[in-house]
């Protein structure tokens, strides 16, 4: 498959207080994480706040990322939207901008039938020349699928991978066993090491925007068979993730970027800026990351 493996940040989208994209801050984040050695970027996903943005803003983010990265690593464009015409439009844009793959969240909110979800992916895969990564995040979509249903979706020509953001590692193992050529990305950063042991091809995560060197070290330790070191790094990362998730995740990740001189910006409403005490906690998280 042409899909990238390895550690792939789910790219944050820095915006100003009006919600407009801060191009320079986005470029700084891309350059910083590239220097850390990431294997690709997942652009415009949940972490990118896609569901809070207009289609033209989403296109702007896709375009800034592709211009900046300029072929140094593969890019995956998240193009999922409530309005299928928006998905089709963004899929075409992603292709025109040189993306390696597209990804779409499973249709949500209306409780669609399996057949409706199947048709959605089938149509998207038919119109797009790029491989599709289905984005499975049942905790946020409210819609889960069995491993048998996912296997039926995986048989759609062009649907080559899944971003598996679920804690059900039994399901992950069953999928891996059934579909040896299917590309599986770990989607919960806190479960990276157990997911690696079950044979995922890569990992896409929000916290990798600020912990790339540590998570790449975890990945390499696992590859070298140094499970003691990999386990140590996962525990250190999970302490950081626990603090991040307890402090309003995305605004805190951006605050951490600001502390490193990378800008970072704010999140779009209804996300609120960090309070004074959340900023203090963010400073503690920053110190913690530096000490690992």
* Residues with active-site annotation: 135, 163
Sheet of 132-136, strands arranged across: 6-9, 202-205, 183-186, 159-164, 132-136, 101-105, 75-78, 41-43
Given the complex with ligand NAY, which of 10 and 267 has the nearer CB atom?
10
Q: Is the dihedral of CA 144, 148, 149, 155 positive or negative?
A: positive
Q: Which of 13, 28, 46, 221 binds ligand NAY (CB under 6 A)?
A: 46
- Report if residue 165 touches ligand NAY, rule: CB under 6 A: yes
Q: Which of 137, 198, 214, 274 binds ligand NAY (CB under 6 A)?
A: 137
Enter the tokens of residue 49: 């706040």
Q: Which of 10, 133, 134, 274 binds ligand NAY (CB under 6 A)?
A: 10
Q: In angstroms, what is the minimal distance from the CB of 154 to ligand NAY? A: 19
Whole-number Å distance between alpha carbons of 267 and 251: 6
Given the complex with ligand NAY, which of 45 and 265 has the nearer CB atom?
45
Stretch that binds ligand NAY, among 40-48, 58-66, 90-98, 143-151 (CB under 6 A): 40-48
Given the complex with ligand NAY, which of 189 and 236 has the nearer CB atom?
189
Contact at 8 Å (CB) between 247 and 285? yes
Binding mask 223-242 for ligand NAY (x = CB under 6 A): ------------------x-
Q: Which of 169, 179, 243, 245 binds ligand NAY (CB under 6 A)?
A: 245
Stretch that binds ligand NAY, among 23-31, 44-52, 110-118, 214-222 (CB under 6 A): 44-52
Number of residues binding to ligand NAY, judged by CB under 6 A:
18
Which parts of 193-222 interact with ligand NAY (CB under 6 A)? Answer: 204-207
Binding mask 49-78 for ligand NAY (x = CB under 6 A): ------------------------------
Q: Which of 190, 236, 255, 281 binds ligand NAY (CB under 6 A)?
A: 190
Given the complex with ligand NAY, which of 45 and 263 has the nearer CB atom?
45
- Report if residue 47 touches ligand NAY, rule: CB under 6 A: yes
Q: In angstroms, what is the minimal distance from the CB of 115 to ligand NAY? A: 25
Q: Which residues bind ligand NAY (CB under 6 A)?
A: 10, 45-47, 137, 140, 165, 187-190, 204-207, 241, 245, 249
């Amino acid at each position: 498959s042409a899909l990238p493996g390895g550690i792939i940040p789910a790219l944050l989208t820095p915006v100003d207080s009006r919600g407009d994209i801060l191009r320079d801050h986005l470029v700084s984040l891309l350059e910083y994480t590239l220097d850390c050695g990431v294997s690709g970027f997942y652009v415009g996903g949940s972490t990118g706040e896609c569901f809070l943005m207009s289609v033209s803003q989403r296109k702007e983010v896709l375009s800034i990322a592709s211009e900046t990265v300029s072929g140094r690593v593969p890019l995956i464009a998240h193009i999922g939207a409530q309005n299928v015409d928006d998905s089709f439009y963004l899929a075409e844009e992603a292709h025109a901008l040189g993306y390696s793959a597209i990804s779409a969240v499973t249709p949500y909110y209306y409780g669609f039938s399996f057949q409706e979800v199947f048709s959605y992916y089938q149509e998207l895969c038919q119109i797009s020349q790029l491989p599709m990564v289905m984005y499975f995040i049942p905790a946020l979509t409210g819609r889960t699928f069995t491993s048998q249903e996912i296997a039926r979706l995986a048989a759609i020509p062009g649907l080559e991978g899944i971003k598996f953001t679920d804690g059900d590692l039994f399901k992950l193992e069953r999928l891996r066993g059934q579909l040896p050529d299917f590309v599986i990305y770990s989607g919960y950063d806190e479960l990276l090491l157990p997911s690696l042991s079950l044979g995922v091809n890569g990992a896409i995560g929000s916290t990798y925007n600020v912990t790339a060197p540590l998570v790449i070290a975890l990945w390499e330790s696992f590859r070298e068979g140094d499970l003691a070191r990999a386990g140590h790094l996962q525990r250190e990362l999970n302490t950081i993730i626990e603090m991040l998730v307890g402090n309003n995740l995305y605004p805190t990740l951006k605050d951490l970027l600001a502390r490193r001189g990378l800008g970072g910006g704010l999140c779009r409403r209804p996300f609120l800026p960090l309070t004074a005490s959340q900023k203090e906690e963010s400073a503690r998280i920053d110190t913690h990351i530096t000490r690992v």
